[in-house]
Structure 1
Amino acid sequence: MCLGIPGELVGTDEEHADLALVDVSGVRRRINVGLLADEDLKAGDWVLVHVGFALSKISESEAQAVLDYLEGLGQAYDDELDALRQSDIR
């Protein structure tokens, strides 16, 4: 199963303007934020992450509601977090 998972932006990549660091339930990974170049993203913003790309900017309350739902999925959500841990965009 592939899920879009909320992640909180925690930093940017100085060398690559289209990459940023996000925290997804304690897992930190670089993702591509190029699709949201017009959003003026900054640390603390929440984005919906799918296959290494930020697809949309979302509110913190929306992110929390989705995270609560996903955590209720159990193993499927754990599998997605494991896949995220193993991924890395450079």
Structure 2
Amino acid sequence: MCVAISGKVIELKGKIAKVDFSGNIIEVNVSLLDVKVGSYVLVHAGYAVEVVKRELAEELSNLFADLEDVL
């Protein structure tokens, strides 16, 4: 089973983006997708694997936050 986390692209340099995951800024390889600053992406193993709408990204972030509260 694979888990992808959603985040917002805040900076883009070539095929490497800085992505904000609830305040945690991580460098992500975006070479598989056409992204721009402001895009929301799903990230797995350091690669952005899908561009998603803001609403879905927020919903996924909320679900993971709820899961953390339970664990």
TM-score by length of 1: 0.71
Q: In structure 1, how many angstroms separate the alpha carbons of the residues matched to 2:3 and 2:22?
A: 14
Q: Rg: which structure is higher?
A: 1
Classify 1:31/1:60 alpha carbon distance in 2 versus 1 (closer, same or farther; 3 Å): same
Coordinate RMSD, CA, aligned: 2.1
More helix by share: 1
**Once the 2 structures are TM-superposed, how far is the Cα of residue 3 of structure 1 from its aligned partner?**
2.4
Q: In structure 2, how many angstroms separate the alpha carbons of the residues matched to 1:2 and 1:18?
A: 23
Classify 1:21/1:64 alpha carbon distance in 2 versus 1 (closer, same or farther; 3 Å): same
Number of paired residues? Answer: 71
Q: Structure 2: 5+ residue runs without aligned partners?
A: none
Q: Structure 1: 5+ residue runs without aligned partners?
A: 78-90
More strand by share: 2
> Aligned residues: percent identity?
32
- Residue 22 of structure 1 aligns with which residue? 19
| Residues 1:4 and 2:1 aligned together | no
Deviant stretches of 4+, over 4 Å = none
